[in-house]
């Protein structure tokens, strides 16, 4: 690992910081307005939108200080770390460059906290909490100003501990209660992790690392920034004649006849209003002769399904999207993995989808309601997940009142303990409670989510703490529970449940299956009610 370069502010930057640790992926603000603007200046949309999925404008960068997205032709991305001395050295250059090229570039700041910088992760999370209040720009600048001050004064590290981060938020006029709650909850960790994963996927080895229109570039001076940008501005936006019309082609949608929520997918509208204006939408129901043939001939396993016919190859933007699609015969199938990537930026494309070939294993899973019910509702949750807490507090009681207690559905709990070691410990503890009775398990779930949950991986779900918590569970044999938990008796069961979810490509929590309809997230109760009612009606 290279030594940290402690060049003084305003000196020419020298080198980067290296880190070999790997992590995972993200969510950000909606870039569709940016995409629309890019189309207006004939920049190929999917170079920015799909090839570089996960774009989140760092700040308003339109040169007038307003909260609008930049419409620049050149996309400049910086993978950076607020505690990194070299990043601080680059900061004045980047800001001058942004000022000089306002309106010509779209600048995107991406988090890449190095594992050996103790304050980098929480600093990145803090900046995202500031973004929630519309002050990412101010907060981002404040952190780098502190970094420059500290290293310039010869201090070992900048003041970026959690109390400092909260103090800066207060200085900038943010709502302290909201900011502190956001930072303490750890809910922005996944957004930071997404950037980190994207950087690792691209081959980022240190900070800062810059990409200009998707190609890594290593500027050593303000002139290097300008020269590369001028070169890209002068470059034609594409080899094809952007004034010539695209050929007309069909976008096939195979709908789920019995799931109205599933059929509210925004993909056709997004594609037709953006990269493929000549696409003609043709819909078939899954139970129609045409729908059945498409499902059979092209092995479609998820509804609604979307296919582009072969004539799409002639569209100007097809070159940027074709490699992401699955070619089957004379059609290109749009995979849900790509939809999920787009959803993280353009807003959710869908609420629910029916997975035709999925059967969730339920043997040995805790259950409420009627095991023979025609509708099986399966909740995959992580005890540390704050959205699971919201779901348990707001939705589960209504499900119990309206469907579970009247035996209309069978309601199951499945472990998806992926947020860290404490999650796994809690998952094992839940199964130890279940060993002593179904009722004790559901008491444990309610207790953990509604009265005990603390910050992610903050130690609240440690083995010793859980042993203390369960003293409140009437009827639980404490000694038997303690032996079960200490021996990790059900670790294989908890791991197998997680592995099943990962075999589907992985998902967040909570993820709910209503029969084979998958819903990700703590949606309003009415969403689940509509799906349950549709499933009950479809099954008589």
* Domains, the chain: 17-234 (3.40.30.10), 249-351 (3.40.30), 367-538 (3.40.30.10)
Instruction: Return the pLDDT at 168.
Output: 97
Q: What pLDDT does 236 receive?
A: 62
Q: What is the pLDDT of residues 363-404, one digit of tens each?
A: 999 999 999 999 999 999 999 999 999 999 999 999 999 999
pLDDT at 345: 63
Strand 331-333, strand 511-514: pairing = unpaired
509: Cβ–Cβ under 8 A, 6 or more apart, which residues? 380, 381, 382, 385, 387, 388, 416, 418
Q: What is the pLDDT of residue 365?
A: 97
Per-residue confidence (pLDDT) for residue 8, from 0 to 100: 31
The predicted structure's pLDDT at residue 244: 54
What pLDDT does residue 417 have?
Answer: 96
Model pLDDT for residues 211-250, shown as the tens digit of each residue: 998 888 889 899 999 999 999 888 765 434 444 578 999 9
Predicted confidence at residue 13, as pLDDT, reads 38
> 439-453 burial, b for 16+ CB within 10 Å, e for fewer?
ebbbbbbebbbeebb
Do you find a cis peptide bond into 437, omega within 30 degrees of 0?
no
In order, the DSSP letters of 450-507 are III--STTSSTTSHHHHHHHGGGSTT--HHHHHHHHHTTTTHHHHHHHHHHHHHTT--
Quote the pLDDT of residue 47. Answer: 33
List the alpha helices (DSSP H) in 81-160: 85-100, 120-132, 136-152
Residue ranges in the chain modelled with pLDDT below 70: 1-72, 236-244, 273, 344-347
Tokens representing 20? 């070999």
Strand partners, 20: none
């Amino acid at each position: 690992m290279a030594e940290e370069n402690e060049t003084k502010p305003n000196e020419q930057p020298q080198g980067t910081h290296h880190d070999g640790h790997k992590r995972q992926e993200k969510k950000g603000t909606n870039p569709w307005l940016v995409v629309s603007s890019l189309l207006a200046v004939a920049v190929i949309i999917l170079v920015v939108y799909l090839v570089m999925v996960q774009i989140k404008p760092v700040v308003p960068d339109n040169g007038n200080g307003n909260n609008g997205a930049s419409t620049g032709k050149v996309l400049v991305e910086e993978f950076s770390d607020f505690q990194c001395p070299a990043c601080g050295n680059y900061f004045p250059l980047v800001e001058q460059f942004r000022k000089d090229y306002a309106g010509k570039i779209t600048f995107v700041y991406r988090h890449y906290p190095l594992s050996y910088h103790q304050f980098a992760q929480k600093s990145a999370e803090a900046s995202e909490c500031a973004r929630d209040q519309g002050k990412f720009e101010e907060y981002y600048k404040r952190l780098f100003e502190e970094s420059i001050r500290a290293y310039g004064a010869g201090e070992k590290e900048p003041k970026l501990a959690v109390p400092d981060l909260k103090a800066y938020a207060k200085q900038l006029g943010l709502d302290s209660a909201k900011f502190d709650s956001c930072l303490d909850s750890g809910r922005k960790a996944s957004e930071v992790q997404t950037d980190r994963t994207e950087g690792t996927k691209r081959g980022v080895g240190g900070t800062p690392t810059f990409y200009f229109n998707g190609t890594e570039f290593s500027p050593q001076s303000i002139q290097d920034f300008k020269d590369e940008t001028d070169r890209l501005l002068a470059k034609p936006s594409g080899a094809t004649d952007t004034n010539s019309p695209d050929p007309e082609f069909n976008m096939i949608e195979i709908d789920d006849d019995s799931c109205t929520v599933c059929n509210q997918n925004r993909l056709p509208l997004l594609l037709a209003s953006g990269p493929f204006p000549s696409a003609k939408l043709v819909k078939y129901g899954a139970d129609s002769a045409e729908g059945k043939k498409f499902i059979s001939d092209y092995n479609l396993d998820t509804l609604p399904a979307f296919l582009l016919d072969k004539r799409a190859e002639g569209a100007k933007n097809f070159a940027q999207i074709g490699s992401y699609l699955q070619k089957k015969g004379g059609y290109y199938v749009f995979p849900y993995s790509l939809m999920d990537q787009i959803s993280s930026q353009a807003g959710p494309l869908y609420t629910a989808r029916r997975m035709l070939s999925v059967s969730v294993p339920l043997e040995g899973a805790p259950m409420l309601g009627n095991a023979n019910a025609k509708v099986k509702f399966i909740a995959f949750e992580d005890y540390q997940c704050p959205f699971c807490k919201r779901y348990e507090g707001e939705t589960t009681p209504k499900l119990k009142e309206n469907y579970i207690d009247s035996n209309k559905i069978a309601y199951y709990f499945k472990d998806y303990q992926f947020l860290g070691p404490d999650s796994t410990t809690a998952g094992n503890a839940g199964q130890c409670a279940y060993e002593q009775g179904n009722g004790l398990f559901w008491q444990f779930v309610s207790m953990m989510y509604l009265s005990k949950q603390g910050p992610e991986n903050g130690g609240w779900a440690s083995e010793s703490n859980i042993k203390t918590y369960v003293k409140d569970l009437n009827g639980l044999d404490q000694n038997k529970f303690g032996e079960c938990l200490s021996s990790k008796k059900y670790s294989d069961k908890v791991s197998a449940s997680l592995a099943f979810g990962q075999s589907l490509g992985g998902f967040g929590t909570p993820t709910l299956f209503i029969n084979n309809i998958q819903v990700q997230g703590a949606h309003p109760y009415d969403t689940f009610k509509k799906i349950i009612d549709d499933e009950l009606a479809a099954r008589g």
